[in-house]
């Protein structure tokens, strides 16, 4: 383990992919700020780290600009800097509602979390990385297979994940003068509580219900850590990690 720990902020760290990534980073020498809406689930994540882990739970709503500012202020005051943001907080939104019947409030909620929240966290991290000494850092956005192709009745989620791809590219370009690298990981069917239903049956493009394979979420976490551990002179702009046999490539 390195004597000098790098500092990571992981949003949505209370469960699922965020928890898996936080645990992977904490177990490999990173100091990790665990961010999420619910203090209890963040404390659960912290309790799963080893005795030598250096973690800090910071409850924060990523859709609230003041809360995001407070999050990064707390991280700076506690750890001194930010080397990595894993921009992971997100929501699927309502299921089973066709596009014509989708309430605007449901649309806006998904946009607020998945896109506006990602923007707010990325901007706060960018500012910190730009101004700290030594300058620089890395932002990894959690995209999705939905950044490439939609599922039925998923307009809000799909639209925000497509938009996140554009945000990733813009941050990567605008970060060049400040040694800020930005990449995106597009994940397909990681086994978490949110994807448990996939093994029982998920509606396909032809309307049929069919079970889908899933992969171990720790494989996602190891992929994120590989991206994070690169020197700032190297970047993985886009990575896709998915269950091998999920219906994405070919005809499903």
What CATH number did the domain enclosing 91 receive?
Answer: 3.40.50.720
Place of tokens 């998915």: 242
pTM, rounded to two decimals: 0.95
Catalytic positions: 157
Q: Is residue 192 part of a domain?
A: yes
Distance CA(182)–CA(175), nearest Å, equals: 8
Residue 114 to residue 92: CA distance in whole angstroms = 9
Task: Determine the average pLDDT of the residues in 183-187.
Answer: 98
Tell me which residue range forms the domain holding 115.
7-242
SS3 category, 86: strand
Output the pLDDT for position 117.
98
Instruction: Determine which of 116-130, 146-160, 204-218 has the lowest per-residue pLDDT on average.
Output: 204-218
Q: What is the mean pLDDT of residues 138-159?
A: 95
* Residue from 113, 114, 138, 119 nearest 128 by CA: 138
Confidence of residue 3 (pLDDT cuts 50, 70, 90): low
Number of domains in the chain: 1
Quick check: is 79 in a domain? yes
pLDDT at 246 over 80: yes
Whole-number Cα distances in Å, 129 to 7, 30, 233, 239: 11, 17, 15, 23
Q: Is the pLDDT of residue 198 over 80?
A: no
Categorize the per-residue pLDDT at 209 as very low, low, confident or very high, splitting at 50, 70 and 90.
Answer: confident
1 pLDDT band, cuts 50/70/90, is very low
- 251: in domain: no
Residue 248 lies in a domain: no
The residue that leads in pLDDT, 200 or 54, is 54
pLDDT computed for residue 206 by the predictor: 85
Closest CA to 229 of 17, 5, 15: 5
In this structure, is residue 249 part of a structural domain? no
Q: What is the pLDDT of residue 2?
A: 44
* 237 within domain boundaries: yes
Sheet holding 238-242, edge to edge: 54-59, 31-36, 7-11, 84-87, 137-142, 180-188, 238-242
Q: At residue 181, what are phi and psi to the nearest 5 degrees?
A: -95, 145
- What CA–CA distance (Å, rounded) separates 192 from 198? 10
């Amino acid at each position: 383990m390195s004597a000098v720990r790098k500092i990571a902020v992981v949003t949505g760290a209370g469960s699922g992919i965020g928890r898996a990534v936080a645990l992977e980073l904490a177990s490999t020498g990173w100091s990790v700020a665990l961010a999420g809406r619910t203090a209890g689930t963040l404390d659960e994540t912290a309790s799963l780290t080893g005795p030598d882990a250096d973690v800090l739970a910071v409850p924060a709503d990523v859709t609230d600009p003041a809360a995001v500012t407070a999050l990064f202020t707390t991280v700076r005051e506690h750890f001194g800097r930010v080397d990595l943001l894993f921009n992971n907080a997100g929501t699927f939104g309502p299921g089973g509602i066709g596009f014509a019947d989708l309430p605007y409030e449901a649309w806006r909620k998904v946009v607020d979390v998945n896109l506006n929240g990602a923007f707010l966290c990325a901007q706060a991290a960018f500012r910190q990385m730009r101004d700290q000494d030594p300058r620089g850092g890395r932002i990894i956005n959690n995209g999705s297979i939905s950044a490439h192709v939609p599922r039925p009745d998923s307009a809000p989620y799909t639209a925000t994940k497509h938009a996140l791809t554009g945000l990733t590219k813009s941050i990567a370009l605008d970060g060049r003068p400040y040694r800020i690298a930005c990449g995106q990981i597009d994940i397909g069917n990681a086994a978490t509580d949110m994807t448990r239903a996939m093994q029982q049956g998920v509606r396909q493009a032809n309307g049929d219900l069919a079970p889908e394979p899933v992969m171990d979420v720790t494989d996602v976490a190891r992929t994120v850590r590989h991206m994070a551990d690169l020197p700032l002179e190297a970047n993985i702009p886009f990575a896709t990690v998915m269950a091998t046999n999920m219906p994405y490539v070919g005809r499903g």
